[in-house]
A = this chain, B = another copy of it.
Amino acid sequence: MTKKPFVIKRKMTKALQVGNVRVGGGAPIRVQSMTSTDTRDIKATVNQIKRLESAGCEIIRVAVPDQEAAYALGKIKQAIDIPLIADVHFDYRLAIEAVKSGADGIRINPGNMKKERIKEIVQAARDRQVPIRIGVNSGSLEKRLLRRHGGASSSALVESAMDSIRFFEDLQFTNLKISLKSSHVPTMIAAYRSLSKTTRYPLHLGVTEAGSIVHAAVKSSIGIGVLLSEGIGDTLRVSVTGDPLAEIPIAYAILRALDIRRVGPEVISCPTCGRCEIDLEGLVGKVEKKLTGIKADLKIALMGCVVNGPGEAAEADIGIAGGRGTGLLFKKGKIVQKIKESEFIDVLLKEIQMMSDEREEST
């Protein structure tokens, strides 16, 4: 693919500093996640964050349901390298405690906290130059908005966000990020589209309650993907029920699919049909597993037949087009060698490691 088929004109937003990571204002679109551990269990939480970090997570959020969790943030922060966001509901004091413990950002939900209390959070955040995310969520909108809009519609989400933005701006606090999550993809798309027309704050994209891994991948890819393709969004989170580690490859796959950021190798492989003469599914699974940790931008093609195989493999940095018991190894369109099926993985991984050592992430 020599020419870009379409150019995404990114909506310019205000730049924020979240710990050591820049968000918005043209910075790369950031990949976030959230821990699923008990935040008070410092060891388990740090372990999970370290795993997320090495998978490519750039900003991590933890739930802060009580004082003990708020205190734990200090120790967690010391043990990790990426910015730490405190997710606080209901109790404004937990947000203030989290800021004091060293959180790099606070996420609050305007639907479940009184405005008067938020003023005190703003004071703490201002003192430590910590940004606040206004995390509007269709599941916890203010009752008066639900009544006025006849439900958790996109306009209700946007109005909730705009109310909060005005409130913060009246306090001269503009160190803000906004999210408008819904489990209903069209609602989420419509809400972000609308809000992005009226504000310049960085937007954090996500679909809530997206479900188990495949369903989460579908809903997040459509919701986040449609918006990114329109230039909307500065950070994102793919929500998956279960181990958050699964969120990171999906997030990068979304960014990669739209040519926005290319981190790590991409494996392309044919869907296997009646023509396939090798165990392609097994091969893809084994190769993908072995690629963990490789950050270089490489396109790897694993093709099961001669009909589409060589054509696609020619576009990849490296590829195998398999036949009956043997295969052709390609590098940048040139045939390098003929190899036995039993040697596919070893030969391929050795080549990939060499190519990887020469490269890094490209954008």
Q: Which residues of A contact B (CB under 8 A)?
A: 1-6, 34-40, 45, 62-65, 69, 87, 89-90, 112, 137-141, 150-154, 183-187, 189-191, 208-219, 221-223, 225-226, 229, 239-244, 246-247, 249-250, 253-254, 257-259, 266-276, 280-281, 284-285, 288, 301-303, 307-309, 311-312, 315
Task: Output the least CB separation between A68 and chain B (Å).
Answer: 11
B-side contacts of A139, CB under 8 Å: 308-309, 311-312, 315
Where chain A touches its partner, the secondary structure class is mixed
Q: Which residues of B contact A221 (CB under 8 A)?
A: 217-219, 221-222, 225
When chains A and B are docked, how far (Å) is the Cα of A63 from the Cα of B274?
A: 5
Contact (Cβ within 8 A) A214 B217: yes
Whether the Cβ atoms of B5 and A274 lie closer than 8 Å is no
Given contacts A137-B308, A212-B284, contact A241 B272 (CB under 8 A): yes
Q: For the complex, what is the distance from the CA of A303 to the CA of B241, rounded to whole Å? A: 10
Smallest CB separation, A8 vs chain B (Å): 8
CB <8 Å contact, A222 and B258:
yes
Q: How far is the CA of A317 from the CA of B86 in the complex (A)?
A: 32
Whether A2 and B37, one on each chain, are in contact in the complex, defined by CB atoms closer than 8 angstroms, is no
User: Shortest CB–CB separation between residue A139 and chain B, in angstroms?
Assistant: 4
Rounded to whole angstroms, the CA-CA distance of A276 and B305 in the bound complex is: 47
Cβ contact within 8 Å between A154 and B5: yes
Q: Does the CB pair A1–B229 fall under 8 Å?
A: no
Contact partners of A242 in chain B: CB under 8 A = 272, 280-281, 284
